[in-house]
A and B are shown apart, each in its own frame.
Chain A
């Protein structure tokens, strides 16, 4: 009993003052994903990596836009989005005060324009992503004019690319002669 009393007095008051004083989390705490839509190229890497499907993306071909969405209520704060984002557009911050009264406030969305396929004129790829790819090509050492020329390839949808390839492959001669099919 005496030991216990001693322990009680030794300990004193340990209660934190939060919410009357701020209570910072540790510097690498995984809290609210901080998203910068201006740095986002809508490439969808985060939506594929997200194990909880808190991140999702919807492509509206008719309107020519793609909508990125983050649901804070579904996020499990694993930081996979941060790990895979090629442009550093999303990173987990130490912010944890996320409670809301209205479910709608749990959602953050961003809308991006799509570039159309050069061949079939169907919108399919975010404009910002194409621009970023060209910028990377330049950065990797390609002359600017050459990089711009490649834009035509980047802006061709996969279906049209396949169609374009058929006559070219055909002109190479029968596939079995090339050893590509047995």
Chain B
């Protein structure tokens, strides 16, 4: 197979693709307990390569499945490609791909390998492994964790089922987005959300402010100050207390009034 051509561009695409599929099935059957992998770094940032490394070492140990990284493409059943396929790596990658015996399974690894990732439209990359060589399995992630790597291999070898499926949503009649926390005045809500993000970032800040809203909305008769004090005593976290006190100050300043 001429690797420079996409698979679809061959003379009789159907028959050849069928043949390739059949051969790959045989390959999968034959190598189930002994998979030889050759790695091509076609211009990645190394993060993927180090995660592959981590997958080989004791904590994840992919060698227990018979997966072994080999030094030469001539021995490879699987070609594992990372990187966005830079111009300079095109020829070395093609040489390595051609050197591997057919049939072979190609895995595109990481965001760059799958589609070019953050570099997808740059002048010095081709934007993904499948622009140059045909790919069988895509492992997304930036970088994929060693566990995601194991999952990807298990999927490629037919041991596990694919979880991710293409989905398409069409807006239903009357679909509407409701405003959250309708009882908290809009201006105050925005002020609290901003302060929480400023103090603890988008993720932890949101979690903290959501808890704060729940405390504000509770109707159990106790004054809000007591509820907050109870909450902080339960959590026992000085930094959290500092942030929550800031939120309380904003409420006290009366940015639009509160339920106090």
A interface residues, Cβ below 8 angstroms from B: 14-16, 18-19, 23, 25, 28, 32, 37-41, 51-54, 71-77, 79, 82-83, 87-89, 96-101, 103-113, 127-128, 131-132, 135-136, 139-141
Contact assessment for B139 and A99 in the assembled complex, using a CB-CB cutoff below 8 Å: yes
Q: Contacts A96-B148, A97-B151 known; A106 to B202 CB distance under 8 Å? A: no
B58 at interface by CB-CB < 8 Å: yes
Give me 8 other A-B pairs in contact (C-beta within 8 A), A101-B138, A140-B186 excluded. Answer: A16-B59, A38-B172, A38-B175, A71-B115, A74-B111, A75-B142, A100-B138, A109-B168
B163 at interface by CB-CB < 8 Å: yes
User: Which residues 150-178 in B have Cβ within 8 Å of A in the complex?
Assistant: 150-152, 154-156, 159-160, 162-172, 175-178
What CA separation (Å) do A112 and B148 show in the bound complex? Answer: 33
- Which 7 residue pairs are nearest across A and B when measured between Cβ atoms? A73-B114, A99-B152, A37-B169, A83-B202, A76-B142, A110-B169, A52-B118
Q: What would be 8 A-B contacts, judged by CB atoms less than 8 Å apart? A: A72-B140, A77-B141, A98-B139, A99-B140, A101-B162, A135-B177, A135-B178, A136-B179
By a CB distance below 8 angstroms, the chain B residues around A23 are 147
- Which residue on chain A has the smallest CB distance to residue B61? A15
Q: Contacts A88-B180, A103-B138 known; A98 to B111 CB distance under 8 Å? A: no
B182 at interface by CB-CB < 8 Å: yes
Contact assessment for B203 and A99 in the assembled complex, using a CB-CB cutoff below 8 Å: no
Contact assessment for B60 and A73 in the assembled complex, using a CB-CB cutoff below 8 Å: no
Q: Contacts A19-B154, A103-B130, A135-B178 known; A109 to B141 CB distance under 8 Å? A: no
Contact assessment for B140 and A75 in the assembled complex, using a CB-CB cutoff below 8 Å: yes
Q: Which of A19, A99, A104 contacts B137 (CB 8 A)?
A: A99
Q: Which of A32, A96, A111 contacts B145 (CB 8 A)?
A: A96
- Which residue on chain A has the smallest CB distance to residue B109? A99
Contact assessment for B111 and A73 in the assembled complex, using a CB-CB cutoff below 8 Å: yes
What CA separation (Å) do A174 and B58 show in the bound complex? Answer: 78
Interface size of B as a range: 35 or more
Q: Report the minimal beta-carbon distance from B187 to chain A, rounded to whole angstroms.
A: 7
Contact assessment for B176 and A140 in the assembled complex, using a CB-CB cutoff below 8 Å: no
By a CB distance below 8 angstroms, the chain A residues around B171 are 37, 110-113, 127-128
User: Which residues 102-141 in B have Cβ within 8 Å of A in the complex?
Assistant: 111, 114-118, 120-121, 130, 135-141
B29 at interface by CB-CB < 8 Å: no
Contact assessment for A128 and B175 in the assembled complex, using a CB-CB cutoff below 8 Å: yes
What CA separation (Å) do A83 and B203 show in the bound complex? Answer: 8
Q: Which of A74, A79, A97, A131 contacts B163 (CB 8 A)?
A: A97
By a CB distance below 8 angstroms, the chain B residues around A136 are 179, 186
What CA separation (Å) do A103 and B175 show in the bound complex? Answer: 30
By a CB distance below 8 angstroms, the chain A residues around B152 are 99
User: Which residues 195-211 in B have Cβ within 8 Å of A in the complex?
Assistant: 197, 202-204
B17 at interface by CB-CB < 8 Å: no
- Which residue on chain A has the smallest CB distance to residue B152? A99
Contact assessment for B177 and A19 in the assembled complex, using a CB-CB cutoff below 8 Å: no
What CA separation (Å) do A39 and B64 show in the bound complex? Answer: 44
Q: Which of A19, A83, A98 contacts B141 (CB 8 A)?
A: A98
Q: Which of A87, A97, A105 contacts B166 (CB 8 A)?
A: A105
Contact assessment for A53 and B155 in the assembled complex, using a CB-CB cutoff below 8 Å: no
Contact assessment for B148 and A98 in the assembled complex, using a CB-CB cutoff below 8 Å: yes
Q: Contacts A105-B164, A141-B186 known; A73 to B115 CB distance under 8 Å? A: yes
B144 at interface by CB-CB < 8 Å: yes
Contact assessment for B176 and A128 in the assembled complex, using a CB-CB cutoff below 8 Å: yes
Q: Which of A25, A98, A111 contacts B168 (CB 8 A)?
A: A111
By a CB distance below 8 angstroms, the chain A residues around B204 are 28
By a CB distance below 8 angstroms, the chain B residues around A97 are 148, 151, 163-164
